[in-house]
């Protein structure tokens, strides 16, 4: 069965600092991997996706993630945090016989201090 683990339910960084949100997955088949962001009282917005092409994936708003099969990881990074990045971030996996079903991690709330 597929699963996702996000390390750290809360992460706090200073404005301008590196953002690193961790995601590890478990999948018996080559996975599709996604990062979504959710602002208060809104739905989920897709930041980026990995679908077995390049292992370094660039997304919107300056975010990127690297797929590391040997570590079963798909960590999300951004070189310089902005106040507007404060939100909840979800890592998700799909693929194989799960079809279009997305399996989400528990989420990481990112706070950005001025």
Partner 1 sequence: KAGVTQTPRYLIKTRGQQVTLSCSPISGHRSVSWYQQTPGQGLQFLFEYFSETQRNKGNFPGRFSGRQFSNSRSEMNVSTLELGDSALYLCASSLLAGGNEQFFGPGTRLTVL
The nearest distance, CB 32 to partner 1, in angstroms, is: 5
Place of tokens 């990062």: 35
Angle at 84 between CA 79 and CA 88, to 5 degrees: 85
CB 89 within 8 A of CB 36: yes
User: Pick from 7, 98, 109, 111: which binds partner 1 (CB under 8 A)?
Assistant: 98
102 near partner 1, judged by CB under 8 A: yes
Binding site for partner 1 (CB under 8 A): 32, 34, 36, 42-46, 49, 51, 90, 92, 94-95, 98-107
């Amino acid at each position: 069965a597929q699963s996702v683990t996000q390390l750290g339910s809360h992460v706090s960084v200073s404005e301008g600092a590196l953002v690193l949100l961790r995601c590890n997955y478990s999948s018996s088949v080559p996975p599709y991997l996604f990062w979504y962001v959710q602002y208060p009282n809104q739905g989920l917005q897709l930041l980026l996706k990995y679908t077995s092409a390049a292992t370094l994936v660039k997304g919107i708003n300056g975010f990127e993630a690297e797929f590391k099969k040997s570590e079963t990881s798909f960590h999300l990074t951004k070189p310089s945090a902005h106040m507007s990045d404060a939100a909840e971030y979800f890592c998700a996996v799909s693929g194989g016989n799960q079809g279009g079903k997305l399996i989400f991690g528990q989420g990481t709330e990112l706070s950005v201090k001025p």
